Amino acid sequence: MEIFLMKELVFGHKNPDTDAIVAAKAFAYLENQLGADAEAVALGTPNEETKFVLEHFSEETPRVVTEVSKEVEAVMLVDHNEAQQSVDDIKDVTVTHVVDHHRIANFETSAPLYYYAEPVGCTSTIIFKLFKQNSIKIPAKLAGLMLSAIISDTLLFKSPTTTPADEVAVKELAKIAAVDYETYGLEMLKAGTNLGSKSEKELIDADAKSFEMGGKTVRIDQVNTVDLDEVFAREVALRNAIEEESATEGYDLFLLMVTNILDSNTRLLVVGEPKNVVETAFSVKLIDDKAELPGVVSRKKQVVPQLEKAF
* Residue 88 annotated in ligand binding: no
| pLDDT at res. 4 | 52
3-state secondary structure of 107: coil
The whole-chain average pLDDT of the chain stands at 94
pLDDT 10s digits, 174-216: 999 999 999 999 999 988 888 888 899 999 998 899 999 999 9
Buried b or exposed e, range 114-135, using 16+ CB within 10 angstroms: ebbeeebbbbbbbbbbbbeeee
Contact status, residue 9 vs residue 65, Cβ threshold 8 Å:
yes
pLDDT over 90 for what percent of the chain? 89
Fold of 200-310: Diaminopimelate Epimerase; Chain A, domain 1 (3.10.310)
> Do the annotations mark residue 229 as ligand-binding?
no
Question: What is the tens place of the pLDDT at every residue in 67-105?
Answer: 999 999 999 999 999 999 999 999 999 999 999 999 999
* CB of 299 closer than 8 Å to CB of 257: yes
Q: Where in the chain is the domain with CATH 3.90.1640.10?
A: 8-193
Cα three-residue angle 271-274-278, rounded to 5 degrees: 80
pLDDT at 70: 95
CA Rg, the chain, in Å? 19
Cβ proximity of 149 and 22 under 8 Å: yes
Q: Is there a binding annotation on residue 221?
A: no
Q: Could you give the residue range(s) of every CATH 3.10.310.20 domain in the chain? A: 200-310
Cα→Cα distances 33→30, 73, 138, Å = 5, 21, 11
Say what the pTM is.
Answer: 0.85
Nearest CA to 102 out of 310, 298, 275, 286 is that of: 298
Q: What is the mean pLDDT of residues 59-71?
A: 96
Q: What are phi and psi of 266, to 5 degrees?
A: -125, 140
Give per-residue pLDDT as tens, 101-117.
999 999 999 899 999 99
Could you give the dihedral angle defined by the CA atoms of residues 21, 27, 29 and 30, in that order, rounded to the nearest 10 degrees? 160
Task: For residues 34-45, give the mean pLDDT.
Answer: 96
Q: What confidence category does residue 1 fall into, taking pLDDT thresholds of 50, 70 and 90?
A: very low
Identify the H or E element spanning 240: helix 235-249
Taking 90 as the threshold, does the pLDDT of residue 262 lie above it?
A: no
Q: Residue 240 — very low, low, confident or very high, per pLDDT cuts 50/70/90? A: very high
Specify the CATH number of the domain 8-193. 3.90.1640.10
Per-residue model confidence as pLDDT tens digits over 156-171: 999 989 999 999 999 9
- The DSSP H or E segment spanning 40 is strand 38-42
97 marked among binding-site residues: no
How many percent of the chain have pLDDT more than 70?
Answer: 98
Does 101 carry a binding-site annotation?
yes
- Give residue 2's pLDDT: 46
